[in-house]
A = this chain, B = another copy of it.
Amino acid sequence: MINLIIFNEFIDEKERETVKAVYPDGIHTVLKQGLQCEEINIKTVTVDNVNEELSEEVLSNTDVLMWWSHVAHDRVSDDTAKRIQNAILKGMGFISLHSSVHSKPFRLLMGTSCDLTWREEDDFEFLWVCDPWHPIAQGINRYIKLEHEEAYGEPFMIPPPDELVFIAAYEGGEAFRAGCCFNRGYGKVFYFQPGHEEFPTYKNPEILKVLKNAVKWAAPQTRISELSSPNVKKPILL
């Protein structure tokens, strides 16, 4: 059984009519419904109590943390961000969605600005599988087509991904590294581009398939209980 926490700010859905129309109960609720299955046990957290909920104890019992954020990156405290980073380095999986490139935990893990360009129109988006052998791409044919998505553009200022599973093309001409895997400590990190709050992307069965695959892929095989360098050792030889 994989313990998954889905974090969603849950602000846009309450404040903007165009978002409320698509996700009246929040992105997290739609994600929870879409990912529910026998192998995954799901809890959701929103920005109102993120700093209290994501305690060290909770994180140490969480296998994968999925993260959607947009306008309130700063309401996650530096301490919470650091706790999350440490939990990932010790083995927890992390799935960063869409605009959460600029969330504190993702930026701490990447060490870069994670900047990109963006354009909010109603472009179609094609997500192409580069690594058809990859666990995250199983069950997906050559591509996923989304009728409407926000366009993201390169340069996407991340470190070179350890595996590149999807690249995207948008109607307006942008291309983007849209599905990227990173190994950080004992933890696995997956970034997935689609998920603008005004489009029903997270109701798309193929997108949910990718996310379910990603949850299974990111669940730890092994975790460590504390980060620390072993002290000076006796010579190994002797």
Spell out A's residues near B (CB within 8 Å).
Answer: 85, 89, 91, 108-113, 115-121, 123-124, 126, 128-133, 135, 138, 142-143, 145, 153-157, 159-160, 162-164, 167-177, 182-188, 220-222, 227-230, 232-238
In the bound complex, CA of A163 to CA of B131 (Å):
15
The 6 lowest CB-CB distance pairs between A and B, nearest first, are A169-B169, A169-B175, A115-B229, A128-B154, A111-B111, A126-B173
The contact of A112 among B154, B184, B221, by CB within 8 Å, is B184
Verify A233–B117 contact, CB threshold 8 A: yes
Verify A227–B113 contact, CB threshold 8 A: yes
Please indicate the chain B residues that have their CB under 8 angstroms from the CB of A118 in the complex: 229, 232-233
The contact of A185 among B85, B157, B168, by CB within 8 Å, is B157
Please indicate the chain B residues that have their CB under 8 angstroms from the CB of A138 in the complex: 221-222
Counted per complex, copies of this chain come to 4
Which B-chain residue is minimally distant from A105 (CB atoms)?
B111
Please indicate the chain B residues that have their CB under 8 angstroms from the CB of A131 in the complex: 155, 160, 183
Which B-chain residue is minimally distant from A132 (CB atoms)?
B155
Please indicate the chain B residues that have their CB under 8 angstroms from the CB of A156 in the complex: 130
Interface centre among A91, A175, A222, A234 (most CB of B within 10 A): A175
Please indicate the chain B residues that have their CB under 8 angstroms from the CB of A230 in the complex: 117
Known A-B contacts A118-B229, A142-B155; A91 and B133 likewise in contact (beta carbons under 8 Å): yes
Known A-B contacts A132-B222, A133-B187, A159-B184; A174 and B116 likewise in contact (beta carbons under 8 Å): no
Which B-chain residue is minimally distant from A183 (CB atoms)?
B160
Verify A177–B167 contact, CB threshold 8 A: yes
